[in-house]
Amino acid sequence: MEQTLQNREQQLSHENKEMSFRFGFLGLGMGGTSIASACADVETNITNKKYPYSALLINTNQIDFDKVTPRNPNTVKFLIGDGKGAGRDINMGESLYIEKAEEIDKLVTTQFSQSDFVWLVVGLGGGTGTGSVIQGIKTLMTNGFKKKFGLILTLPRFVEGHTVINNALQRLQKIYAAMQGLGPIILVDNQKLFDEYRNEHPQGSIADYLTYSNKYVADALHDLNTVTASYLPVGEYHFDSSEFRKMLQTPGLIHFARFSAKSATIDAGQGLSYSTKLKQEIDNGVLSSGYNLEQAKQVAVSVLANKSDSKRLYTFEFVEQLESLIASTALAAKEKPVALYEYESRRQDNNVYFYSVFAGLDFPEARISALMDAERQFEEIQKANEEAKKKDLFAGFQASSNNKQSEDLSFDDLFGDKNDDNSSDKLNDDFDDLAKRFNL
Ligand SMILES: Nc1nc2c(ncn2[C@@H]2O[C@H](COP(=O)(O)OP(=O)(O)OP(=O)(O)O)[C@@H](O)[C@H]2O)c(=O)[nH]1
Ligand SMILES: [Mg+2]
């Protein structure tokens, strides 16, 4: 036993993290393929497998596709349609996918033959990914990944306009209705990530932001996958791969939060500092926020500390603080485990890492309502614009038919005579009156 632990411990350096699952990523459309590609570019040194994940990327737009440049040599790109994109038209995106559905079935089977679990990744709002997301679910359900797939969906930013928000809402509504029959869903809130990125990088660009956000999603997911498999559990409970599997089999949304702090700043007897911080980070979330955590069906909190710090830190009081925080946050969860781990001191930093995961959640109501409000506002603006277009600024005015140069214009050209169809009778009558009065 001792020997096994020691062996295991030797493997557990920062660079050599084990994973619970070999994920596959099926990316659709530009957002979906960019994120899926970043996820499959995660590298590890375990069992000589540099790239443990694999990806299949599908898009209709050749130019967008060329911009996605996977490092992972096993990532496969598959262009559907004529290469010109689906131009935000979800019906077109869906039809182009259906045309190639059989080929996609085959590609999914080969590309994910080694995958335990596949994430279908889509940036909600466009024509290709959003249009084909339901068909993508069908592909996975009918090719061996029923109960072994989840969704990673980005929510658009508010400024992205009527069509984008409307497309996103249309598909969210369908997914929401079917949610209990689907796997877990991870929402990536582009507005939240964009705001955070802009605060930290005021000089940054949208392109920088997108690269950052895609890597950020990839790292967050990989972190979750490794923390459940890599470290030495201390104490009675271990949030291990089988616990993680349960979460991945729980329908509904997955929410996660994490933070780290210098171990010297954490005092086991002063729960307020770290449990308040953890609560704050749970509210902020990593990829999205606004969940009603009371509805969580599964919860886990993992803490990871340096071996020498763990002795000082992992007291009864420490665990009780975290347990009571979780118990008061996720009232409905059946299990509210706190798992403690230690890592080798040779790891460079002396941080304590806190991770929390909530599964089986409902959609974040306020965020979805805000999208619907934005959509309503766009509709009102559009309606007002159409009405303004209909309104004729010169209503009641009848145009004159003359096109002559100004020097050629006679008085009649300018104002017409009584028999001129284009003239205004009233104007002529008035003029006649004037002419009589001034003996013209
Ligand atoms: N996080 C993130 N979101 C992205 C990225 N690219 C696009 N998005 C989001 O995804 C949404 C859909 O856009 P695309 O993925 O370009 O659309 P598409 O599926 O290719 O559809 P068409 O271009 O209309 O055929 C956008 O409105 C963005 O909110 C990306 O690289 N990262
Ligand atoms: Mg596109």
* 311 and 175 in a common domain: no
Q: Encoding tokens for residue 12?
A: 């557990």
* 316 and 243 in a common domain: yes
Q: Which domain holds residue 426?
A: 407-440
* 264 and 218 in a common domain: no
Which ligand has the shortest distance to the CA of 87? 1
Q: Is residue 393 part of a domain?
A: no
* 189 and 59 in a common domain: yes
Answer with the one of 328, 350, 374 that is the final residue of a domain: 374
Residue 269 pLDDT: 63
Nearest residue (CA) to ligand 1, atom 5: 31
Find the 239 Cα to ligand 2 centroid distance in Å. Answer: 39
Is there an atom of ligand 1 within 6 Å of 250 CB? no
* 217 and 76 in a common domain: yes
Q: Is residue 135 part of a domain?
A: yes
Is there an atom of ligand 1 within 6 Å of 191 CB? no
Is there an atom of ligand 1 within 6 Å of 287 CB? no
Is there an atom of ligand 1 within 6 Å of 192 CB? no
Identity of residue 118 = V
Residue 69 pLDDT: 96
Find the 426 Cα to ligand 1 centroid distance in Å. Answer: 60
CA of 211, closest atom in ligand 1? 31
Find the 323 Cα to ligand 2 centroid distance in Å. Answer: 45
CATH number of the domain within which 109 lies? 3.40.50.1440
* 301 and 270 in a common domain: yes
Q: Is residue 190 part of a domain?
A: yes
Burial (CB count <10 Å: 0-12, 13-18, 19+), residue 3: exposed
Answer with the one of 170, 203, 230 that is the final residue of a domain: 230
Find the 31 Cα to ligand 1 centroid distance in Å. Answer: 4
Q: Is residue 360 part of a domain?
A: yes
Find the 304 Cα to ligand 2 centroid distance in Å. Answer: 40
Find the 123 Cα to ligand 1 centroid distance in Å. Answer: 5
C-alpha to C-alpha distance for 205 and 213, rounded to whole angstroms:
12
Q: Is residue 435 part of a domain?
A: yes
Find the 364 Cα to ligand 1 centroid distance in Å. Answer: 21
Q: Is residue 62 part of a domain?
A: yes
C-alpha to C-alpha distance for 432 and 440, rounded to whole angstroms:
9
Residue 8 pLDDT: 30
* 257 and 134 in a common domain: no
Q: Is residue 121 part of a domain?
A: yes
Measure the CA angle with vertex 260, ends 291 and 332; round to 5°.
30
Give the mutation target among 25, 30, 82, 196 for probing the ligand 1 site: most ligand atoms within 8 A of CB.
30
Give the mutation target among 190, 196, 197, 367 for probing the ligand 1 site: most ligand atoms within 8 A of CB.
190
**Residues around the ion ligand 2 (C-beta < 5 A):** 30, 61, 64
* 197 and 104 in a common domain: yes
Strand (E) positions, 109-196? 117-123, 149-155, 184-189
Is there an atom of ligand 1 within 6 Å of 34 CB? yes
Nearest residue (CA) to ligand 1, atom 7: 31
* 412 and 329 in a common domain: no
* Total domain count, the chain: 3
Residue 110 pLDDT: 98
Q: Is residue 4 part of a domain?
A: no
Answer with the one of 230, 247, 279 that is the final residue of a domain: 230
C-alpha to C-alpha distance for 235 and 221, rounded to whole angstroms:
25
Find the 35 Cα to ligand 1 centroid distance in Å. Answer: 10
Give the mutation target among 122, 154, 159 for probing the ligand 1 site: most ligand atoms within 8 A of CB.
154
End-to-end Cα distance, the chain = 122
* 261 and 224 in a common domain: no
Identity of residue 240 = D
Find the 62 Cα to ligand 2 centroid distance in Å. Answer: 9
* 51 and 200 in a common domain: yes
Residue 9 pLDDT: 31
Nearest residue (CA) to ligand 1, atom 6: 31
Residue 254 pLDDT: 96
Local confidence pLDDT in tens for the 440 residues of the chain: 233 323 333 333 334 567 889 999 999 999 999 999 999 999 987 666 789 999 999 999 999 999 999 999 999 999 999 999 999 999 999 999 999 999 999 999 999 999 999 999 999 999 999 999 999 999 999 999 999 999 999 999 999 999 999 999 999 999 999 999 999 999 999 999 999 999 999 999 989 999 999 999 999 899 889 887 777 788 777 778 888 899 999 999 999 898 888 887 777 666 557 888 899 999 999 999 999 999 999 998 999 888 888 888 898 888 888 989 998 998 877 776 888 988 876 555 688 889 999 999 999 999 999 999 999 998 898 888 888 887 777 777 776 655 555 566 666 765 665 444 444 444 444 444 444 444 44
* 150 and 129 in a common domain: yes
For 179-240, where are the alpha helices, taking DSSP H only?
190-200, 206-227
Measure the CA angle with vertex 266, ends 19 and 356; round to 5°.
35
